[in-house]
Chain A
């Protein structure tokens, strides 16, 4: 394809409007289907086909078994074909509402969209939603293909009515170009060649339009943004900053600043494996070396001193929610913006957008496939641009901290507050101040129960979950206390009391420091547990009774201690020859039998309400 520009486009539109068939038709007409795949297609058409004796071209594209069985497209499929004039990458995206996120995925990397409309059904809810998502994700060129035009009477009138409706609802979406063409994907009318049957239509064929489309969007003319991707430092003599120029041009010898720190230097070299360059422009993957050693890491953005991005820790953005579990305002997620990854919270949802009417509605949360205009708050300032001007430094994804799933996609509108302008007021640094900084209350969670009851297992799981939610934690248990702080103590009743007293004091210091402290100790006596409780402010001490019967603990005996105690080799063992006083009114009473530790930890997590 030497010399020719590549066009990436997606196909979208309502279910059954014929997207897969249209792509199949484009592949077939451009002779992009290998003969052996054609043979498979003939076999599959007989088995799963919906087109009688004809080839079912949609089967070329629906690749997953479930899709072939159900006759629908679930996931984005990428196809590659070339006409004599251009090479294309097609993202075939699903029409069903529950796969809207997959459609957005396809749109995020496309230059143009082919929006399918079934001539018999006209513009549907899904058509509108897909057009809106295309605009939301920054697509500027759309061609609406009015398909199955062979199946309607008075095609010119139907076409004119659909075109008028499309233009009316797309007007506020701000597409740079919107073309409307009639086609029959099944029979190939006006897809790659003009059709006798559509002689009333004077415009281009669909393929003709795609071949001619000029998507050159002069990214090189925009100000420089170079997100540092990887610091390449093989030895003391070379320190390079590898990355892809996101916009603009970088030239050897020019001044640059690190957006976050404001540190300034000049570009010494633009290094590539094929030799140094005088300049590199948007899209080029290069390595820069700089005249001065300044502190730069992955996530930093290099730019020209006179055209800097905002550096902000609060900004407004549209968020498309992509997870089954709803978006929770206030919960920390990870935000990936450019090459930076920072913890972020959605601090407010200004409104959600009805993707059918484009109306705004109040919302407290976002569900799967919903779009909201949100305020976000990052824990550290990031270099950020408006998505409309700088797609690469104005777009982000949100990642769930526990599952690592990609749960949201965002497009920045504007920074709400420049981090550099924030006037930080001096405050007395106390527990409340630390809690504000941590954005969660400090607490001591005290696990009590027999040896082998599952205290530490549950405490460990809980700590992982809290940590994943961005909560600062520390786990105190016999292992890390008895080997150090309390090395001098044994297991007599007096020593047990002293052990608990010391642990209580340490836990109190740690909550003062703003942490959520998990304490896992048999702590058999009510009195000592009460003593510890009184060290804390009301509500800051949570007693968790891990309730497992002595029989069950003896059976589990994870450390073989009960066996030794029953054999008389271990003295003063709780439950054998030393008493355990169960709590009377614990904050949480966990029955472990019949529940997994995972369930117990989840239950506890919910009850703590952190």
Chain B
């Protein structure tokens, strides 16, 4: 504990309190594990919350089948290292229909392979609460999200019907069919996540560190061609650039940034001077101004 700054200690204790609260109040909680840096911190906090006991709930990864190969390898390594009960779900209907980010477009792909898939998995297992690693500093509509975010039957988020949330007295009561999304990292910033990752020595996917990678430039952003499913346009030749990611999603929808930050120290230094927002590289956010709010209403995390 002592190696953490007072600020991070405060955030850590708050997150542990939230995680324990769900374990105490909800019948069938699950932790969404998306493999990224935020999920890494959230999982680490959960392991700390129940130590010396193992995690009292499973993890769920919604696999769109378009994640970077390094992400899947990292997922498997982490699950094995901590002996986690990790459930992986892919929307079988989406696979049958051949939905993919390239032909179907980012919006349909996200709806079918992420949002619908997530709802399928939550319904299938009967989870009544799902932890997510979202932070309020990420995006405008997330800034208004509760820590315990109530979803009516059908996973609908109604921003006008959110429960008032006072002190640390979270209301976790739901009726059958209703559920909660719970965000232990609500009050963390991207910089907090990296400083905590460094202080606690939490493993992260190597894609966050700068390395020479094959990229193509499309609509002004750099896309890493993680495998040959990404067709090249006529005359397009991937070139090797020193790039890294600030946010990881489906690889054709995640833009890389040019960077030389190859260590956690470098990333934190870069962070302190950066003026680009982290989700700028998430192509699914920019369809329209209220895009995230819209996706959230429909059940997206």
Contact of B17 among A61, A76, A285, A391 (CB under 8 A): A285
For residue B192, which residues in chain A have a CB less than 8 angstroms away from its CB?
Answer: 1
Decide if B103 is an interface residue (CB 8 Å cutoff).
no
Decide if A238 is an interface residue (CB 8 Å cutoff).
yes
User: When the two chains form their complex, are residues A109 and B13 in contact, meaning their CB atoms are under 8 A apart?
Assistant: no
Decide if B298 is an interface residue (CB 8 Å cutoff).
no
Question: 0/1 per residue, B140-167, Cβ < 8 Å to A?
Answer: 1101100000000000000110111111
- A272 and B167 CA atoms in complex are apart in Å by 24
- A76 and B52 CA atoms in complex are apart in Å by 37
For residue B169, which residues in chain A have a CB less than 8 angstroms away from its CB?
Answer: 336-337, 395-397
For residue B12, which residues in chain A have a CB less than 8 angstroms away from its CB?
Answer: 285
Decide if B1 is an interface residue (CB 8 Å cutoff).
yes
Decide if B228 is an interface residue (CB 8 Å cutoff).
no
Decide if B137 is an interface residue (CB 8 Å cutoff).
yes
Contact of B171 among A108, A272, A404 (CB under 8 A): A404
Closest to B20 in A: A230
Consensus secondary structure, chain B interface: loop
User: When the two chains form their complex, are residues A244 and B17 in contact, meaning their CB atoms are under 8 A apart?
Assistant: yes
- A172 and B97 CA atoms in complex are apart in Å by 68
Decide if A481 is an interface residue (CB 8 Å cutoff).
no
- Closest beta carbon of chain B to A105's beta carbon, Å: 5
User: When the two chains form their complex, are residues B54 and A234 in contact, meaning their CB atoms are under 8 A apart?
Assistant: yes
- A181 and B195 CA atoms in complex are apart in Å by 35
Contact of B163 among A5, A89, A229, A406 (CB under 8 A): A406
User: When the two chains form their complex, are residues A229 and B24 in contact, meaning their CB atoms are under 8 A apart?
Assistant: yes
Query: Given A273-B47, A273-B51, are A64 and B293 also a contact pair (CB < 8 Å)?
Result: yes
B189-216 residues at the A interface, CB under 8 angstroms: 189, 191-192, 195
For residue B280, which residues in chain A have a CB less than 8 angstroms away from its CB?
Answer: 34, 36
Question: 0/1 per residue, A27-66, Cβ < 8 Å to B?
Answer: 0000101111100100110000000000000001101111
User: When the two chains form their complex, are residues A395 and B53 in contact, meaning their CB atoms are under 8 A apart?
Assistant: no
Question: 0/1 per residue, A226-237, Cβ < 8 Å to B?
Answer: 000110111000
- A37 and B280 CA atoms in complex are apart in Å by 9
- Closest beta carbon of chain B to A150's beta carbon, Å: 28
- A2 and B12 CA atoms in complex are apart in Å by 14
User: When the two chains form their complex, are residues A229 and B7 in contact, meaning their CB atoms are under 8 A apart?
Assistant: no
- Closest beta carbon of chain B to A41's beta carbon, Å: 11
- A165 and B189 CA atoms in complex are apart in Å by 39
Contact of B5 among A3, A244, A284, A334 (CB under 8 A): A3
Show 17 residue pairs from A and B whose CB-CB distance is below 8 angstroms, ordered by the A residue. Answer: A35-B275, A60-B140, A63-B293, A64-B290, A78-B143, A80-B136, A104-B166, A230-B24, A232-B50, A271-B52, A272-B1, A272-B51, A273-B48, A274-B48, A391-B167, A395-B167, A406-B171
- The 9 A-B residue pairs with the shortest CB-CB distance, nearest first, are A63-B140, A234-B53, A34-B277, A273-B51, A273-B48, A2-B5, A285-B16, A108-B166, A404-B173
Q: A4-B5, A334-B173, A397-B166 are in contact. List 19 more A-B contacts (CB 8 A).
A: A1-B7, A1-B192, A3-B5, A4-B6, A34-B274, A40-B289, A43-B289, A63-B144, A74-B160, A105-B165, A234-B52, A242-B50, A271-B51, A272-B1, A273-B47, A273-B51, A283-B10, A284-B13, A392-B168
